[in-house]
């Protein structure tokens, strides 16, 4: 019997759905006590000293760079295989994106190539913890220290991911998380910035709120709620609503269980696909804990090289079509940014400029994985993955 299995599915408990009624009933809808509660729980879970909720991970990346003083003419090193907004925020601030190829096994930035990308204009490295696997942060931090660069962790997919015992987002100057519905904790749209630098945290809080010297909540709870705040900065509006804060906060009460469930689902896939030489499942080395935001594989890994890439790409797309007809949603793991029109046209890239990113773009496939996935759904996916290739 055919069943439909989406690539990801939001799974909320009824208590979590109910939680949004509280701010709706109280009438305090924007960045109030519920956002503060979510931020506190996020800090407790990740071990971050400061957590600042914002409107998306893209806002988090943008605000991090803006608060650190990144501006026109500055350069940032960004992996060539990631979601486009990792690069876009650099463009938005008038900077130049310097792409770096990825490691073909982890999908994360190739730390051996970073130093060759650094110039006198480089101000930041933006490593991405792609799909829930930490980038190799020790060498990245060493390079950053040597060249006096900021490290902005794109931890959009990093919930539950650890690097030698530390949660991602606590390893660089800031960490930036996403609460888009494809992420393990969702607030519809939403993001979080983590940082151990309290001065930087204050600047980010000010910039997220139109550059105000104090938040509306602080003003309302203070001695003179009738007076408006000063605005020492020309800031942005990147405040999270309390409706989102309530939803995020409620999910954090089962944060550990959510991570464990996703890891268990990934292990079931790993065991089921162990003997398929035409599918390379996600790799997680010692010292790393994978959060499994998704389950990215490489199709036909032995042929996935520059000379075989177009052949594998065609075969992968045909396979995705077969799975789609069986009711199973799959996606390429993410984009090679240098192959997208904006960056290709602006910087004149060719596909092969970042070969591993190009191969990952054309040969990767993410299979459905979401907490709340039933055994029946997962068994169906496993069965179709194994049997469909015969077609």
Ligand X SMILES: Cc1ncc(COP(=O)(O)O)c(C=O)c1O
Interface residue list for ligand X (CB under 6 A): 56-58, 82-83, 85-86, 128, 154, 156-157, 178, 180, 191
Cβ proximity to ligand X, 78 vs 250, nearer residue: 78
If DSSP codes are grouped into helix, strand and coil, which group holds residue 254?
A: coil
334, 82 contact by CB (below 8 A): yes
Q: Cβ of residue 155: shortest distance to ligand X, in angstroms?
A: 8
Asked if residues 195 and 172 have their Cβ atoms less than 8 Å apart, the reply is no
Question: Which one, 58 or 215, has the nearer CB to ligand X?
Answer: 58
Q: Could you tell me the smallest distance in angstroms from the CB atom of residue 22 to ligand X?
A: 24
Shortest CB 7 distance to ligand X, Å: 12
Shortest CB 195 distance to ligand X, Å: 17
Q: Answer yes or no: are the C-beta atoms of 8 and 180 closer than 8 Å.
A: no
Query: Between 58 and 170, whose beta carbon lies closer to ligand X?
Result: 58
CA 278 → CA 274, 281, 308, 330, distances in Å? 10, 10, 14, 16
Distance of CA 300 to the CA centre of its chain: 26
C-alpha atoms less than 13 angstroms from C-alpha of 178 in its C-beta half-sphere: 23
Minimum Å gap between C-beta 259 and ligand X is 17
Closest to ligand X by CB, 319 or 356: 356
Closest distance to ligand X from the beta carbon of 61 (Å): 7
Q: Report the relative pairing of strands 122-125 and 150-154 from DSSP bridges.
A: parallel
Report the interhelical angle of 85-92 vs 57-68 (nearest 10°): 40
Chain centroid to Cα 386, Å, comes to 29
- In Å, the largest CA–CA distance within the chain is 72
CB of 289 to ligand X, least distance (A): 18
Nearest distance, CB of residue 234 and ligand X, angstroms: 22
> Which of residues 219 and 331 has its CB atom nearest to ligand X in the complex?
331
Give the whole-angstrom CA distance, residue 333 versus residue 78: 17
Q: What count of other Cβ atoms lies within 10 Å of the Cβ of residue 258?
A: 20
For helices 375-388 and 309-325, the axis angle rounded to 10 degrees is: 130
Comparison of 85 and 330: residue with beta carbon closer to ligand X: 85
Yes or no: say if 357 and 295 are a contact pair by the CB < 8 Å rule.
no
Tokens (6 digits) for 344 = 């290709």
For residues 28 and 330, which CB has a smaller minimum distance to ligand X in the complex?
A: 330
Other Cβ atoms closer than 10 A to 276: 13
Residue 276 neighbours by CB under 8 Å, 6+ apart: 386
Q: Which is nearer to ligand X, 157 or 284 (CB)?
A: 157
């Amino acid at each position: 019997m055919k069943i439909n299995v989406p690539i990801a599915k939001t799974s909320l408990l009824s208590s979590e759905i109910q939680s949004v009624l509280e701010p709706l009933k109280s009438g305090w809808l924007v960045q109030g006590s519920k956002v503060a509660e979510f931020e506190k729980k996020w800090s407790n879970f990740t071990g971050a000293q400061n957590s600042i909720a914002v409107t998306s991970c893209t806002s988090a990346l943008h605000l991090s760079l803006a608060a650190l003083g990144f501006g026109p003419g500055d350069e940032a090193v960004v992996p060539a295989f990631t979601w486009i907004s990792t690069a876009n925020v650099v463009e938005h601030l008038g900077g130049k994106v310097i792409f770096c190829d990825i490691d073909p096994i982890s999908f994360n930035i190739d730390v051996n190539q970073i130093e060759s990308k650094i110039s006198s204009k480089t101000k930041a490295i933006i490593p991405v913890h792609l799909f829930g696997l930490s980038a190799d942060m020790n060498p990245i931090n060493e390079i950053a220290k040597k060249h006096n660069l900021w490290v902005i962790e794109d931890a959009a997919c990093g919930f539950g991911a650890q690097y030698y015992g530390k949660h991602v987002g606590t390893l660089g100057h800031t960490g930036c998380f996403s609460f888009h519905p494809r992420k393990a904790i969702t607030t519809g749209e939403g993001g979080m910035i983590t940082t151990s630098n309290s001065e930087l945290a204050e600047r980010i809080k000010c910039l997220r709120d139109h550059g105000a010297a104090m938040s509306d909540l602080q003003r309302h709870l203070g001695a003179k709620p009738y007076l408006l705040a000063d605005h020492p900065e020309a800031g942005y509006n990147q405040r999270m609503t309390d409706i989102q804060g309530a939803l995020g906060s409620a999910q954090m009460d089962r944060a550990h269980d959510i991570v464990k469930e996703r890891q268990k689902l990934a292990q079931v896939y790993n065991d089921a696909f162990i003997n398929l030489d035409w599918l390379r499942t996600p790799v997680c080395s010692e010292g790393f804990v994978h959060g499994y935001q998704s389950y990215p594989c490489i199709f036909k890994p032995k042929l996935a090289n520059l000379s075989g890439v177009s052949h594998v790409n065609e075969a992968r797309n045909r396979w995705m079509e077969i799975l789609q007809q069986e009711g199973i949603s799959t996606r390429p793991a993410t984009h090679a940014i240098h192959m997208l029109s904006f960056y290709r046209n602006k910087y004149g890239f060719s596909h092969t400029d970042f070969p591993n990113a190009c191969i990952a773009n054309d040969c990767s496939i993410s299979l459905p994985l979401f907490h709340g996935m039933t055994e029946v759904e997962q068994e169906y996916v496993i069965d179709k993955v194994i049997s469909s290739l015969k077609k």
